[in-house]
Structure 1
Amino acid sequence: MKKIVLIGFLIGAVLVPDLFAYVDMSAVTQRANDLGMNTKDYTFAMAIAGTLTGFAFNLFLWKVK
Structure 2
Amino acid sequence: MTTRVIVTGTGTPIADPNRAGPGVLITHGETHMQFDTGRATVMRLAATGVMLGDLTAVFLTHQHSD
TM-score (norm 1): 0.27
Higher RCO structure, 1 or 2 (CA under 8 Å, sep 6+): 2
Compare the two structures and name the one with the higher helix fraction.
1
TM-score (norm 2): 0.27
Q: Which protein shows a greater Rg?
A: 1
